[in-house]
Amino acid sequence: MKDATRCIIHPAVSTEGFDSLAVPVHRASTILFKDAAAYAARTQRDLDGYSYGLHGTPTARTLEAQLTALEGGLRTVLVPSGQAALAMVLLTVLMPGDCVLIPDTAYPPLTGLCRHYLEPRGVAWRIYPADGAGLEAMIDASVKLIWMESPGSTTMEVQDVPAIVALARRHGVLTGIDNTWATPLLFKPMEHGVDFSMQALSKYVGGHSDLLLGSITVSDLELRRRLRDTMRMLGLGVSPDDAALALRGLETMAVRLAHVGRVGLDFARRLHGMPGTGEILHPALPGAPGHALWQRDFKGASGLFSVVLDEAAEPLLEAALNRLKTFRIGSSWGGTRSLIAPMSVKSNRIFPHPRNDRTILRICIGLEDPTDLWADLEALFAALQPHPQAVEQEG
pLDDT(395) > 50: no
Distance CA 23, CA 20 (A): 8
What's the pLDDT at 393?
A: 46
Distance CA 190, CA 67 (A): 12
- DSSP for 56-87, written as a single string: --HHHHHHHHHHHHHHT-SEEEEESSHHHHHH
Peptide bond into 11 cis (omega under 30): no
178-237 confidence digits (pLDDT tens): 999 999 999 999 999 999 999 999 999 999 999 999 999 999 999 999 999 999 999 999
| Burial class of residue 125 in the structure, from the number of CB atoms within 10 Å of its CB (0-12 exposed, 13-18 middle, 19+ buried) | buried
- Residue 146 near residue 173, CB atoms below 8 Å: yes
Give 24-38 as a 3 state SS string: CCCCCCCCCCCCHHH
Q: How many CB atoms lie within 10 A of CB 350?
A: 11
Query: Mean pLDDT throughout 87-111?
Result: 97
* Range in 38-47, 336-345, 386-395 the model is least confident about: 386-395
pLDDT(390) > 80: no
pLDDT(108) > 50: yes
Query: Mean pLDDT throughout 59-65?
Result: 97
CA atoms within 13 A on the CB side of 50: 16
Distance CA 363, CA 342 (A): 9
Query: Mean pLDDT throughout 314-342?
Result: 95
- Residue 343 near residue 282, CB atoms below 8 Å: no
How is the chain split among helix, strand and coil, in percent rounded to 5? 45, 15, 40
342-363 confidence digits (pLDDT tens): 999 999 999 999 999 999 999 9
Query: Mean pLDDT throughout 136-145?
Result: 98
Q: How many CB atoms lie within 10 A of CB 95?
A: 11
- Strand 99-103 and strand 143-149: pairing? parallel
12-54 confidence digits (pLDDT tens): 888 888 888 889 899 988 888 898 988 888 888 778 888 888 8
Of all helices (H) and strands (E), which one includes residue 362?
A: strand 360-364
113: closest CA among 136, 84, 149? 84
Of all helices (H) and strands (E), which one includes residue 370?
A: helix 370-383
What's the pLDDT at 276?
A: 80
Tell me the CA distances in angstroms from 282 to 13, 264, 289, 299, 308, one per residue in order. Answer: 55, 9, 8, 14, 11
pLDDT(257) > 60: yes
Tell me the CA distances in angstroms from 214 to 81, 198, 242, one per residue in order. Answer: 4, 7, 10
* Residue type for position 251: E
The torsion angles phi and psi of 365, rounded to 5 degrees, stand at -85, 130
What's the pLDDT at 388?
A: 58
394 — pLDDT class (breaks 50, 70, 90): very low
- The maximal CA–CA distance of the chain, rounded, in angstroms, is 93
Query: Mean pLDDT throughout 230-258?
Result: 97
Task: For the chain, give the percent of residues with pLDDT over 90.
Answer: 80
pLDDT(269) > 90: yes
Average pLDDT, the chain: 94
Helical pair 82-93 and 221-234, crossing angle rounded to 10 deg: 110
